[in-house]
C-alpha cells in the first residue's frame, strides 16, 4: 500500500516538515555533568529527533564558541528545536540549564555545554520546529532527512533540489522504530513535479 502526495519543500524549511529516525549521539566535553542527547540515547534508549552535537558539525561545519543568546537560538533551531530568546530566558529562570558566563557585561555567552543542555530540555519535551516535528511523524530523524537530501544533490547536481521526489518508508516514533527517506531525481524529460511517496509494509 502506498500514498502519493504533492509536496514542494526543502526538508530543512521551517514551514514544512517530514521525518527521520535513527540513533543519536552527542554531547559535551569531558567532565561535563550537564545532561545531553547522548544521555537519552545511552541511559534511556530513546531515539532523539533533533540534531546532535556531532550531526550539527557534520551538516553545518565547524562552529565558533562561545555564542551570543541569539546565535545559540539559531543553532538550536537549525538542530530542529523550536526556541527563541524568550524561551532561552525561561529555561534559565526555571533553573533547568546551567547559567552561561557573561562577557564582562550583561551579555550572556553560550558554550557548547550550555547549548547542549538546552537541546536536552527541548528534546525531552519534544519541542521541535515544524519541519523536524513533521519528519518525526514519519518516524524519521531530522539529520537523516538532511543527509538524504544532501546525498541526492551531490549525486545529481544537474537537477534542482525542489524537483526531487521523496520516498518515505515510515517508522514509528511511538515504538522508536526508525523510518527511512530517499530523494529521487526526476526521470529524463520529466518536468520534475515533486511528489512525496509513502510506502507501507
184 shares its domain with 102 = no
Rounded to whole angstroms, the Cα distance separating 133 from 118 reads: 17
pLDDT of residue 173: 63
Residue 24 lies in a domain: no
CB atoms < 10 A from the CB of 75, how many? 21
What Å distances lie between residue 9 and 102, 116, 160, 166, CA to CA?
39, 28, 12, 10
Comparing CA positions, the residue from 116, 142, 111 lying closest to residue 22 is 142
Judge whether 113 and 28 are in contact, CB under 8 Å. yes
Of 75, 109, 129, the position where a domain reaches its end is: 129
Report how many domains make up the chain.
2
Same domain assignment for residues 118 and 59:
yes
Residues 101, 156 share a domain: no
For residues 172 and 188, state if they share a domain.
Answer: yes
Q: Do 41 and 122 reside in the same domain of the chain? A: yes
Same domain, 111 and 44: yes
CB atoms closer than 10 angstroms to residue 95: 8
CB-based contact 183:12 (threshold 8 Å): no
Domain that holds residue 188: 2-15+132-199
DSSP per residue, the chain:
-EEEEE----TT-TT----B---------TT--S--HHHHHHHS-----SPPHHHHHHHH----SSB-HHHHHHHHHHTTB---HHHHHHHHHHTSSPPPEESSSS-EEB-HHHHHHHHHHHHHTT-B-HHHHHHHHTTB-HHHHHHHHHHHHHH-TTS-GGG-EEEEE--BTTTTB--EEEEEPPPTT-----EEEEE--
Same domain, yes or no: 125 and 151: no
Cell of 127: 519541542
pLDDT recorded at residue 36: 67
53 and 120 share one domain: yes
Q: Is the same domain home to 107 and 168? A: no
pTM of the model: 0.74
pLDDT along the chain (201 residues), means of 10: 35 38 34 59 69 94 95 97 96 92 85 94 94 91 94 88 87 76 80 54 45
| Residue that terminates a domain, selected from 78, 99, 129 | 129
Residue 32 within a domain: no
Where a domain ends, among 85, 100, 129? 129
Amino acid at each position: 500500500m502506498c500514498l502519493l502526495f504533492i509536496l514542494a519543500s526543502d526538508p530543512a524549511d521551517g514551514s514544512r516538515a517530514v521525518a527521520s529516525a535513527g540513533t543519536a549521539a552527542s554531547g559535551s566535553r569531558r567532565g561535563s555533568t550537564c545532561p545531553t542527547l547522548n544521555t537519552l540515547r545511552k541511559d534511556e534508549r530513546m531515539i532523539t529527533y533533533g540534531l546532535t552535537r556531532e550531526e550539527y558539525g557534520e551538516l553545518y561545519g565547524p562552529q565558533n564558541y562561545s555564542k551570543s543568546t541569539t546565535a545559540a537560538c539559531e543553532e538550536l533551531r537549525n538542530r530542529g528545536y523550536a526556541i527563541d530568546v524568550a524561551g532561552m530566558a525561561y529555561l534559565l529562570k526555571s533553573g533547568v540549564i546551567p547559567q552561561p558566563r557573561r562577557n564582562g557585561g550583561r551579555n550572556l555567552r553560550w558554550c557548547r555545554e550550555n547549548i547542549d543542555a538546552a537541546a536536552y530540555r527541548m528534546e525531552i519535551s519534544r519541542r521541535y520546529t515544524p519541519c523536524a516535528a513533521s519528519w518525526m511523524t514519519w518516524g524519521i530523524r531530522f539529520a537523516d532527512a538532511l543527509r538524504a537530501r544532501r546525498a541526492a544533490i551531490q549525486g545529481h547536481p544537474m537537477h534542482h533540489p525542489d524537483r526531487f521526489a521523496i520516498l518515505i518508508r515510515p517508522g514509528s516514533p511511538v515504538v522508536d522504530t526508525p523510518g527511512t527517506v530517499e530523494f529521487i531525481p526526476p526521470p529524463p524529460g520529466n518536468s520534475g513535479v515533486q511528489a512525496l511517496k509513502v510506502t507501507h509494509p
